């Protein structure tokens, strides 16, 4: 006779504490079997065998398994397609219910629908809960029920709702006695999944109080450690968004709280406007005649544009899997405006290289820079890299760290495009595309 279990499926929530879906699972009458799936539908599409995100996830899965083993349980881990994993589980166990936390990206929606359909055939149920955001889907909308497409009014309504509703609490760490007692399965190695360990150092998952208190004044200075560097931990849920919102409020850091609200906003946009994941949020911007010069794109990727602040950002990304947010805006503006290269090329490069890659936020940031997104910069706003440097890296400390040769005209790359010409060309190209008829 097969053991009756409920399953908790870890995904973007790699922690035992303050985990909404796990807490719900632990309230049931059946023991909870912890599960993680190394999804081949995702992994097979990755281009780099040393992809830092795979190493990060693998490290966190090993840590999670160790924590579960200390509680007399263990992590069941599969490397394959989700449907195949549940077929195997339903063969071994009497699976009553599967609990998980919601994911709002297009692939996740399709995957969950497929798993849900399979489980229904087996007499089981897939239950999803809100965990990676404070407010999801249509919880923060206009009074007429339509979604917000501008951040400021969205954030205002978000804060009003939080003040009324408060922060939920899911003390899953206090209910772990109902975990299924068994040692779990064998966790595949990186080599068995055809990946190599990364050389990138992962950031810690805590933030100094001084950073939060000085966040507004220092967040735009790439040479200063003035941001939390928690984005990868938020992306994979090794820290709770509720914990961080509470921390921001306790520190009185409105600027940092707003950055957390941007995450919810972009997830809301992807949910309500799924077309934005592949094309311009504003369809008229799909008529822009991009130049898409492959040699110039390669120079941008390698940090060899001859614009020091741009090159510094791209080299930081290559070396660390991270790029300062102000610099992300500068390099994105440069690619889409100075070089007139389709924002999707840059988005795809960031998706490949960023340790904290999140579809909603990455897409939102790139469309903001290109002018095609919701609440985006107008198309005629073209960042001047020199002025951005004067304002945010006036002593060139950030540039010197990543582009030490920039002051030597004999060794540093000549600019691949002249600023004024590129600006004028971009504005004219955008204007022509937006005025043309589809």
Q: pLDDT digit string (tens) for 8-35?
A: 999 999 999 999 999 999 999 999 999 9
Catalytic residue among 214, 293, 325, 384: 325
The one catalytic residue in 17, 290, 293, 384 is 290
The catalytic residue among 136, 139, 262, 384 is 262
Is 325 marked active-site?
Answer: yes
For 3, the token pair is 């053991």
Strand, helix or coil at 101?
Answer: strand
Quick one: pLDDT band at residue 379, thresholds 50, 70, 90? confident
Q: What is the pLDDT of residue 214?
A: 94
pLDDT value of residue 395: 97
Q: Token pair of 336, please?
A: 């889409």
User: Sorting pLDDT into bands at 50, 70 and 90, what band is 376?
Assistant: confident
290 in active site: yes
- Dihedral in degrees, nearest 10, Cα atoms 347, 351, 357, 358: 60
In whole angstroms, what is the distance from residue 306 CA to residue 219 CA?
25
Tell me the pLDDT tens digit for each residue of 156-215.
Answer: 999 999 999 999 989 999 999 999 999 988 999 999 999 999 999 999 999 999 999 999
Tokens 């509680």 correspond to 71
Give the per-residue pLDDT at 174: 97
The tokens for 20 are 């909404």
Does residue 322 contact residue 204 with C-beta atoms inside 8 Å? Answer: no
Closest to 219 in 3D by CA, of 249, 250, 257: 257
What is the rounded distance in angstroms from the CA atom of residue 412 to the CA atom of residue 305? 10
Q: To the nearest whole number, what is the mean pLDDT of the chain? A: 96
Judge: domain 277-431, CATH 1.10.579.10.
yes
Catalytic residue among 214, 259, 293, 384: 259
Binning the chain into helix, strand and coil, the percentages to the nearest 5 are 50, 10, 40
Q: The domain 132-168+207-272 is classified under which CATH number: 3.40.30.10, 3.40.50.300, 3.40.640.10, 1.25.40.80? A: 1.25.40.80
102 has pLDDT over 70? yes
pLDDT 10s digits, 262-294 = 999 999 999 999 999 999 999 999 999 999 999
Q: Residue 372 and residue 153: Cα distance in Å, rounded?
A: 19
Annotated catalytic residue 259? yes
φ/ψ region of 191 (left if φ > 0, alpha if ψ in -120 to 50, else beta) reads alpha
Rounded mean pLDDT, 227-253: 96
CA 388 to mean position of chain CA atoms: 25
**pLDDT tens-place string over residues 26-84:** 999 999 999 999 999 999 999 999 999 999 999 999 999 999 999 999 999 999 999 99
3-state secondary structure of 5: strand
Residue 58 three-state SS: helix
169's tokens: 């609490």
Catalytic option among 343, 345, 349, 368: 343
Q: Which of 158, 256, 366, 402 is catalytic?
A: 366
Residue 438 has pLDDT above 60, yes or no: no
Return d(Cα 245, Cα 135) in angstroms, integer.
12
- Residue 368 annotated to the active site: no
Write down the pTM of the prediction: 0.95
pLDDT tens per residue, range 106-147: 999 999 999 999 999 999 999 999 999 999 999 999 999 999
Enumerate the domain spans of the chain. 1-131, 132-168+207-272, 277-431
Helix (H, G, I), strand (E, B) or coil at 35: strand
What number does CATH give the domain 1-131? 3.40.50.620
């Amino acid at each position: 006779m097969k053991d009756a279990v409920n399953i908790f499926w870890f995904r973007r929530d790699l922690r035992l504490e303050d985990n909404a879906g796990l807490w719900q699972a632990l309230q049931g009458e059946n023991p909870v079997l912890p599960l993680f799936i190394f999804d081949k539908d995702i992994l097979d599409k990755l281009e780099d065998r040393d992809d830092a995100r795979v190493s990060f996830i693998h490290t966190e899965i090993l840590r999670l398994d160790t924590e579960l083993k200390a509680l007399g349980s263990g992590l069941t881990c599969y490397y394959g397609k989700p449907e195949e994993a549940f077929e195997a589980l339903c063969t071994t166990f009497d699976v009553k219910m599967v609990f998980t936390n919601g994911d709002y990206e297009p692939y996740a929606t399709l995957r969950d629908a497929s798993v849900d359909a399979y489980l229904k055939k087996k007499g089981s149920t897939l239950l999803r809960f809100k965990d990676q955001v404070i407010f999801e889907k249509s919880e923060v909308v206009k009074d007429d029920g339509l979604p917000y497409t501008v951040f400021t009014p969205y954030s205002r309504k978000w804060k009003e709702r939080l003040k009324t509703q408060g922060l939920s609490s899911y003390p899953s760490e206090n209910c772990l006695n109902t975990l299924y007692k068994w040692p779990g399965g064998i966790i595949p190695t990186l080599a068995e999944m055809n990946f190599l360990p990364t050389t990138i150092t992962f950031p810690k998952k805590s933030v100094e109080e001084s950073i939060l208190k000085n966040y507004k004044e220092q967040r735009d200075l790439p040479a200063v450690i003035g941001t939390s560097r928690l984005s990868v931990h938020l992306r994979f849920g090794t820290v709770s968004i509720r914990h961080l919102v509470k921390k921001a409020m306790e520190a009185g850091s409105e600027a940092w709280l707003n950055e957390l609200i941007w995450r919810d906003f972009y997830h809301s946009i992807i949910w309500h406007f799924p077309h934005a994941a592949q094309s311009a949020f504003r369809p008229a911007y799909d008529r822009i005649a991009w130049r898409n010069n492959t040699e110039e794109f390669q120079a941008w990727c390698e940090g060899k544009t001859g614009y020091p602040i741009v090159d510094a950002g791209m080299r930081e990304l290559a070396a660390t899997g991270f790029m300062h947010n102000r610099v992300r805006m500068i390099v994105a503006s440069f690619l889409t405006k100075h070089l007139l290269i389709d924002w999707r090329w840059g988005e795809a490069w960031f998706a490949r290289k960023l340790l904290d890659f999140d579809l909603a936020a990455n897409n939102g940031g790139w469309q903001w820079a290109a002018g095609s997104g919701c609440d985006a910069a107008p198309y005629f706003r073209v960042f001047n890299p020199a002025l951005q440097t004067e304002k945010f890296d006036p002593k060139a400390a950030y540039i010197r760290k990543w582009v030490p040769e920039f002051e030597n005209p004999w060794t540093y790359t000549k600019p691949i495009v002249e600023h004024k010409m590129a600006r004028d060309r971009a504005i004219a190209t955008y204007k022509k595309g937006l005025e043309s008829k589809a």
